[in-house]
Chains A and B, each alone.
Chain A
Amino acid sequence: MATNTVQRSGHPGHPARWPLWATPVLVLALAYGLVPLVASDYVFDALLIPFLALSLAAVGLNLLTGYAGQLSLGSAAFMAVGVYAAYNFQLRVQGLPLLAAIALGGVAATLVGVVFGLPSLRLRGFYLAVSTLAAQFFVQWALTKFGWFSNDNPSGVIDAPPLAVAGVAFDTPAGRYLFALSVVAVLTALVWRVTRTPTGHHFIAVRDNELAARVIGVPVLRTKLLAFALSSFVIGVAGVLWGFVYLRTVEPAGFNLDRSFQILFIIIIGGLATLRGAFLGAALIVLFPLLLSRLGSLLLGQWFDSGVLELCQRIALGALIVGFLIAEPRGLAALWERLVARCCRRPAAAHGA
């Protein structure tokens, strides 16, 4: 895996005048202040909310695969566990506040994640990946098979509960967006914090060279399990966002292998072991197909039917993934870094720094 230095203060190439906290604060200010005023319902419900849910899942998977180097192909299963668990807690425990149900959903995902993470103590690389697939298929089967999970609804599809925190209802598109944004912001901050602690450094040590890490005293077993635990928690909450805030109905088929691949695409294209990468990748994965579809039907809709355009769009997506991996294997985050560095290096040069 590409090594990735942990950034300490400021951005490379500048004098330390742009503090590290400034970019996130700026982004959050725009996200909270500006976006709700200008965006339409469509942008909220079809673009921003799925983007937020997928970014959070990517942040979680990045923790496991990017930072700790444990390849997992079963992330969608953990999303499913999170949302079904949250649903059941909220349903069966009277008066449980929504946030508590979401947190408990995450905890359930953590437990399942640790169980399926145990093989990582013996397995590496693709062997580990294939065993995470066991989680993927098993969870999907269990959720479909045992009606208890979906409240014995004959169709197995559950409806999301209304979103209300401390009496404040979040049932407008803008409200749902703000709810998702807050959850994502808090968890991303937490994950960021973790990567800066010794635990985070242990993750990277284990990823880069497990034997050496063991030699210098990193508790490898505990580190790996912790990686699975934390990652699954975040992914579980992302699943709750996907089901409760975005689609508002949940069926196990939505958390299939394609979804797991999608999240893996996001972190690879976004850039492994970068938080920025999760968001950039998710933006690409959410927006790109829609953009292509719209462009395609706009320009070529007269001559080709929508099926042909869709196939072309699928081909273009695949080609984009391959192209990206060839041209910039470190992902969008690295691309972004280069862009920022280039446009901000000039004044530094001018100042002789």
Chain B
Amino acid sequence: MAQGFDFAFLAEVLIGGLLSGVMYSLVAIGFVLIYKTSGVLNFAQGAQLLFAALTFVSLVERGLPFALALGITFALMVALGLAIERTVLRPLVNQPPITLFMATLGLSYVIEGVAQLVWGTQVHSLELGVADEPIEFAGVLVSTFDLFAAGVAALMVIALSAFFRYTRVGLAFRAVADDTFAALAVGLRLPVIWATVWSAAGVIALVAGLLWGARLGVQFSLSLVVLKALPVLVLGGFDSILGAIVGGLLIGALEKLAEVYLGPYVGGGIESWFAYAAALLFLLVRPGGLFGQRLVERA
């Protein structure tokens, strides 16, 4: 390497990684919401993301104003979430987690297929009005868009945390997550709770879909971002929002640093598996993730 260690570059990679990590957390939070309250690892989150992005972009391209398109997409995502809960999850309520997971996998095929059937298989560009001119602080480059996305994610997290802590519905979620039977005994109506949770997850998918769509362009591979969220979940714990954030930041940073500093020794391209390897090693030390509850896995 060049003479003297390039700290500015390190800072760049680190900051870029942290900001990427925030984007991962966005997706992971959708997972956490559902896992926390119904124990389902919703692999269809990626398909929902794609559906949201495609719907929004297609509406905008047909001439609808931004706000109206956003509103319609919002409504559709809520409806989708409700539909999923009612048709797929409710009949499978007592099944083992793997069955539920596989059901969400099958569901992702259906949602992807419907999204493309309705809106077509073309690729689209999604502009959110944030120009991605990089800002430079003392020789360190930071992306404007990533900052914007981090801001949005932060807002969403604050909103969610407030929701869980201060509203009745939020408290009900936590009750259900803690002890389903007790919640039932107290009179909370589970179907309503679950329906709300799935709708909320749909909304998160919308936000994540718009941000990721703006980052990558809207096309089929958009649904693959879930593969980035899984190591985040593992690191942070499947049922902790704070874990999703911290995990996301960690994974994003580690991944980028590894690619830049370790990658050249093995020929590069290690980003595809590094996050998983890191999560795995971490798990061997802390099997429940950073903030996750130590689950007793009943087979």
Contacts and interface: CB of A to CB of B under 8 A. Distances in A.
Interface stretch (A11-19, A80-88, A122-130, A191-199): A122-130
A146 B266 CA distance: 9
B283 A325 contact: no
A126 B88 CA distance: 20
A146 to B, nearest CB: 8
Contacts of A325: 92, 95, 99, 102-103, 106
Contact of B273 (A71, A138, A268): A138
A137 B234 contact: no
A105 B267 CA distance: 26
Using C-beta atoms within 8 Å of the partner chain, give the interface range for chain B.
35 or more
Query: B interface, by DSSP: helix, strand, loop or mixed?
Result: helix
A307 B165 CA distance: 48
B273 A141 contact: yes
21 contacts: A1-B299, A126-B97, A127-B289, A131-B276, A131-B279, A131-B283, A133-B227, A133-B276, A134-B280, A137-B276, A140-B273, A141-B273, A265-B102, A312-B113, A315-B114, A315-B117, A318-B109, A321-B109, A322-B110, A325-B95, A325-B103
Given A131-B283, A138-B277, A322 B299 contact: no
A6 interface: no
Interface of A: 1-2, 69, 71, 119, 122-127, 130-131, 133-134, 137-138, 140-141, 144-146, 207-210, 257, 261, 264-265, 268, 307-308, 311-312, 314-315, 317-322, 325-326, 329
Contact of B98 (A141, A209, A268, A318): A268
Interface of B: 41, 88, 91-92, 95-99, 101-103, 105-114, 116-117, 121, 227, 230-231, 233-234, 238, 266-267, 269-270, 272-273, 276-277, 279-280, 283-284, 287, 289, 295, 297, 299
Contact of A326 (B92, B270, B283): B92
A130 B276 contact: yes
A316 B134 CA distance: 45
Given A119-B284, A311-B113, A325-B102, 17 more contacts: A125-B295, A126-B101, A130-B276, A130-B280, A133-B227, A134-B273, A144-B269, A207-B299, A315-B110, A315-B113, A318-B107, A318-B110, A320-B106, A321-B103, A321-B109, A322-B106, A322-B110
